[in-house]
Structure 1
Amino acid sequence: MKKNTFKQVGVLGVVALASATACAQGSAEQSSSVQLYGIVDLAYRRTTNEGPATNPGESLSQMVGGGMSQSRWGINVTEDLGGGLKALVNMENRFTANNGANTSPAFQQSWLGLQGGFGRVTFGRQYNILFDLVTSTYASYPYSPYMEIYKPEIGFALGARQNEMIKYMAEVGPVRGALQYSFDANSPTGGKTVGGYLRYAADGLAAGMGYQNYEFASGKKVKAWTLGGSYRTGPWYINLGYGENKVDQLTSPVDFAVLSAMWQGTINGGFGGPAFLAANKRTIYKLGVGYQVTPQLNVAAHYFHAKQTGPVAMADAKANFFTMAADYAFSKRTDAYLEVDHTKLKGAVSLSSAAAVSATNPTGANGAKSRTGFTIGIRHRF
């Protein structure tokens, strides 16, 4: 996305403060920069089978504050330390543009680091290596890594971000590698992670493989890995991938709650019902194709097949996801999009709905086995 410097948005007090601080440092930091960037995305979405368990067939119409992309604003800071060494800072706030509410935590990224001939090392809350690999190597869309409102592939990325992380990345020619480690700080929900990936990208071809685990407070783990690639030639973009989550046998309610937060949600596949947390293994295959019809118009279609299994027969379930999208760029910053999706489940799982959430049904499973969604929206990037 195109990012404009803070001079263009001096009306924001926080950026003005950053500007004043930078100017006070004198000419020694003339090669440093502070940049503000962001996305505002609003869409209308209608979905079927969104009712409570007593009447799951009800449809839902709503305005969503992030159809193709989650709305956000952020600050990037780069300081030239000399000798090829740079200091880096990123703070990124996420919000829902339809009501102005912040996500939790409000800053989905908050990290600093150093970059030089050795590569780049960053510290803080940031994307994990599973998310990095998929979105940089075999993203669903070349102009947006995934559809924010319908992203079953991201449900396998162990939450996509991690607190208290150290991440190291280095590139040699077309090969890039990265490693991550995060602390749990004796958190009651755990949080210690270890992972890494290796990718290759050249001449329109990109491919990579990554592995990461997450350690719960009990010491048990969920282990994930992914493999995939993409190819661009002329107006065509083709991508395919595989992902897997495998979980130790959990008994702690706290551990189950953490796993549920990683896996559940209609945008991540919609699994719910008796089989939801009985599973200890999930897999997903993805295949997509995109075509640039004109310099302004892109179209794409994607198919995902997911499967879960467990120590009891009830845990076995399957899901098929299909989505088609068209995106039209009015300019380099503003585009409009139209998306249609369909979900079909099989087994003891069912779709989740906000109308079905209760103390006895925290996942919101409403018994529905299929859902069709329609989304139309507009996005502005700055």
Structure 2
Amino acid sequence: MNKMLKIGATTILTLGGAAHAQSSVTLYGLIDAGLTYTNSQISGTGGGHSKWEMTSGAVQYSRWGLRGAEDLGGGVKAIFTLESGFNLNTGQYSANMRLFNRLAYVGLSSRDYGALTLGRQTDSMVDFVAPLSLTGTEFGGTHFAHPLDNDNLNDSFQINNAVKYLSPNIAGFRFGGLYGFSNQAGEFANNRAYSFGISYVAGAWNFGAGYLALSSSARTPAQLNTNGAVTDTTGASLQGALTPTGVPLGVLASSQKTFGAGVNYTFGPAVAGFVYSHTKLSQFFQTGLSGTFQNFEGNIRYALTPAVELSGAYTYSRAGGNGGGGVPHWNQVSAMADYRFSRRTDVYIQGAWQRSSPSGTSPLGVAWINGVTAPASTTNQLEAAVGLKHRF
């Protein structure tokens, strides 16, 4: 009898251990802290003033999260991710009233058929185009973004109520799509989103393209459907810009349509790339005003040694529309040097210079580097940062 009990207990423990081994939950995160100098920012006292400040997320947004998977057999897994962005300097969430303000989804993943997930997620511009741009990577990040992050390549906002599919790698191809519901009765298209993209890797070449569409019926920020697909942003430059509440530009237009494509080529220790994106806003604030942004980015990064990485980008952006304000355009040059102490810890120094060249009386007539607290008082703005990043 005792022998049978021992055998039974051993069997239960063995099965329990096997089941435990097939499931995993991982705590992960990234902390980015540093000091930033800006030569000119508009302040409450008027005019432009230089500014020294301690910053969080000068390159990559500080965040922590939980990632889990359970093996269901046959190459299928149940998966989830919960991720929260925060300001290291204050300990506050980067978006009010959201515990997991960056990502929150659950779904199924198959090695043969791809992944289907539901929740708060990134769009296809972030998934397929951003990795080819320095703003969407650890080699440039926040300050390298295109004006107002108008194409969301720096992941300034995520999509709520989203159903998303990502394919497996099929002979170098990957594709995916997302739909974010408005969650409003009788207003199916009021603050909804949809997005799709594709990538292809062949030897030294890496291609990607994506599309994002937002729609809304809001006439003012107060009328925004706050249960819809897009309702807030972590991007500092959008806070207090054309949308004082911090919601992305496209949510307050009857529609936003963004398209982007890019290519990277690897040769030896270097990677060179080019990215183009186009954003069209229709009937901004339902006033009949429309506008466009076009962005052209050339970038390069070079591994000087296994520990030292150099990167740089030049971006030309132009805006246009029927608002009567002319056609402003921007030139921005950005550079960064990064030194890795280990796989998890590195220090960086970076800088960006932007010049805005407005035409007419455009309200976008001053320089404003993405991630800087306030615009310059003139058409030029210079930013420089030194910081430390740690991953866990």
TM-score, length basis structure 1? 0.79
Asked if 1:118 corresponds to 2:116, the answer is no
Contact kept in structure 1, 2:191 and 2:216, CA below 8 Å: yes
**Equivalent position of 1:295 in the other structure:** 306
Deviation at 1:351, TM superposition (A): 3.6
Contact kept in structure 2, 1:112 and 1:124, CA below 8 Å: yes
Residues 50/290 of structure 1: CA separation in 2 closer, same or farther (3 Å cut): same
Note the 1:1-12 alignment, pairs <5 A: none
Question: Matches of 1:60 and 1:50 in 2, distance apart?
Answer: 7
1:204-249 residue CA offsets vs partner (Å, 9 max, x unmatched)? 2101221120011359211110011101121111011100111222
Moved more, 120-129 or 243-252: 243-252
Q: Which of 374, 377, 382 is the aligned partner of 2:387? A: 377
Question: Matches of 2:64 and 2:331 in 1, distance apart?
Answer: 34
Residues 99/79 of structure 1: CA separation in 2 closer, same or farther (3 Å cut): same
Contact kept in structure 2, 1:128 and 1:160, CA below 8 Å: no
**Equivalent position of 1:178 in the other structure:** 176
Moved more, 224-233 or 365-374: 365-374
**Equivalent position of 1:169 in the other structure:** 166
Question: What SS does the aligned partner of 2:183 have?
Answer: coil
Q: Which of 228, 231, 235 is the aligned partner of 2:265? A: 231
Letter in structure 1 aligned against 2:389: R
**Equivalent position of 2:255 in the other structure:** 221
Letter in structure 2 aligned against 1:284: N
Question: Matches of 1:251 and 1:46 in 2, distance apart?
Answer: 34
Question: Matches of 2:317 and 2:291 in 1, distance apart?
Answer: 14
**Equivalent position of 1:206 in the other structure:** 206
Question: Matches of 1:208 and 1:193 in 2, distance apart?
Answer: 20
Asked if 1:324 corresponds to 2:335, the answer is yes
**Equivalent position of 1:127 in the other structure:** 122
Deviation at 1:352, TM superposition (A): 5.3
Letter in structure 2 aligned against 1:211: Y
Question: What SS does the aligned partner of 1:74 have?
Answer: strand
**Equivalent position of 1:195 in the other structure:** 195
Asked if 1:77 corresponds to 2:87, the answer is no
Contact kept in structure 2, 1:29 and 1:80, CA below 8 Å: no
Question: What SS does the aligned partner of 1:100 have?
Answer: coil
Question: Matches of 2:272 and 2:290 in 1, distance apart?
Answer: 31
Contact kept in structure 2, 1:91 and 1:109, CA below 8 Å: yes
Deviation at 1:155, TM superposition (A): 3.1
Question: Matches of 1:43 and 1:133 in 2, distance apart?
Answer: 29
Unaligned runs of 5+ in 2: 1-14, 219-252
Question: Matches of 1:109 and 1:142 in 2, distance apart?
Answer: 16
Residues 146/351 of structure 1: CA separation in 2 closer, same or farther (3 Å cut): same
Residues 192/159 of structure 1: CA separation in 2 closer, same or farther (3 Å cut): farther
**Equivalent position of 1:40 in the other structure:** 31
Contact kept in structure 2, 1:279 and 1:315, CA below 8 Å: no
Pick the structure with greater CA Rg.
2
The count of corresponding residues between Structure 1 and Structure 2 is 327
Residues 68/180 of structure 1: CA separation in 2 closer, same or farther (3 Å cut): same
Taking only the aligned residue pairs, the percentage that are identical comes to 24
Letter in structure 1 aligned against 2:332: F
**Equivalent position of 1:308 in the other structure:** 319
Q: Which of 378, 384, 388 is the aligned partner of 1:368? A: 378
Contact kept in structure 2, 1:53 and 1:365, CA below 8 Å: no
**Equivalent position of 2:282 in the other structure:** 248
Residues 123/224 of structure 1: CA separation in 2 closer, same or farther (3 Å cut): same
Question: Matches of 1:244 and 1:142 in 2, distance apart?
Answer: 16
Q: RMSD of the TM alignment (CA)?
A: 2.7
Contact kept in structure 2, 1:279 and 1:316, CA below 8 Å: no
Contact kept in structure 2, 1:36 and 1:75, CA below 8 Å: yes
Question: Matches of 2:123 and 2:136 in 1, distance apart?
Answer: 20
Contact kept in structure 2, 1:130 and 1:160, CA below 8 Å: no
Note the 1:132-151 alignment, pairs <5 A: 132-136=127-131, 138-140=132-134, 144=138, 146-151=140-145
Deviation at 1:309, TM superposition (A): 0.5
Question: Matches of 1:142 and 1:231 in 2, distance apart?
Answer: 17
**Equivalent position of 1:9 in the other structure:** none
Question: What SS does the aligned partner of 1:314 have?
Answer: coil
Letter in structure 2 aligned against 1:316: V
Letter in structure 2 aligned against 1:186: Q
1:152-194 residue CA offsets vs partner (Å, 9 max, x unmatched)? 2743128441111111111312000001111011299943112
Deviation at 1:34, TM superposition (A): 0.6
Question: What SS does the aligned partner of 1:90 have?
Answer: strand
Contact kept in structure 1, 2:150 and 2:279, CA below 8 Å: no
Contact kept in structure 1, 2:280 and 2:290, CA below 8 Å: no
1:276-331 residue CA offsets vs partner (Å, 9 max, x unmatched)? xx651111010001111111001111011110001144142101111010000011
TM-score, length basis structure 2? 0.77
Contact kept in structure 1, 2:107 and 2:118, CA below 8 Å: yes
Q: Which of 39, 42, 58 is the aligned partner of 2:49? A: 58
Contact kept in structure 1, 2:318 and 2:328, CA below 8 Å: yes
Question: What SS does the aligned partner of 1:135 have?
Answer: helix
Question: What SS does the aligned partner of 1:103 have?
Answer: coil
1:44-95 residue CA offsets vs partner (Å, 9 max, x unmatched)? 0000111338643310110001122111111100100111110110001111
Residues 53/309 of structure 1: CA separation in 2 closer, same or farther (3 Å cut): farther
